Amino acid sequence: MGTKFSVIYNRFLEKITDDMYMELTPQDTIRDLQHLLIDAIPGFEFPRKNLYDYEIKVVQISEDLVTDDDFIIGVVWNDLLDDPESIVPDVLVEQSSFSSDLTPEEINILALLMKCGWVQRQVTSIENTRMKYSGSDFKMTSQANHLAKLLNLLSEAQRESFHMQRLYKRRKLDDDGVYHSEWYLFGKDRAMRNN
């Protein structure tokens, strides 16, 4: 099994602050995070791994087998009622994953792209509010200021995502575990072929 979606969800959630996720049910939270992640995949311009090869999966496991990266969606109460001596309940865990193992850099880029989608959603929500009111009514509230800050945040999130993707495309890890630009490695290969 490759990288779990939950690893990317956790990285994304570290980058934002949104009380909405505390109000949603675990199922709705997972559904929203899945949509953000799947929508982010096309934004990753030149991944070295096939990001379209993934599996959406929910499994029922014993609660004592849950790892730190797992997202618990719910508890299976029927099993507890059927077996009164059962101490550890079964839980439903979201275990969707990519087929390949992603690097920390690839995980970070996907989380940044999820952040872009999340901020775009916030901007769209404010734009819908602004369309309901006339220009002067909208300016009297803090909505216009809030929208301007969100647009700046979206621009910064997109800039950060593009920057990380440019770095990702232009550098490679050598056999010694050191990053080099592709130009350096190209020159090194060329020198070796000439010798």
Q: Chain-wide mean pLDDT for the chain?
A: 81
Between 148 and 38, name the one with better pLDDT: 38
Distance CA 94, CA 101 (A): 17
109 closest CA partner among 4, 2, 1, 15: 15
Q: Where are the alpha helices (DSSP H) in the chain?
A: 5-15, 20-23, 26-40, 77-82, 104-132, 135-140, 143-170, 182-194
What average pLDDT score do residues 112-132 get? 77
DSSP class of residue 130 equals H
Q: How many CB atoms lie within 10 A of CB 57?
A: 13
| pLDDT tens per residue, range 50-87 | 999 999 999 999 888 988 878 888 888 775 556 666 67
What is the residue-wise DSSP string for 12-43?
A: HHHH---THHHHS-HHHHHHHHHHHHHHHGGG
- Predicted pLDDT at 136: 56
- The answer to whether 33 and 115 have CB atoms below 8 angstroms apart is no
Between 69 and 127, name the one with better pLDDT: 69
pTM of the model: 0.74
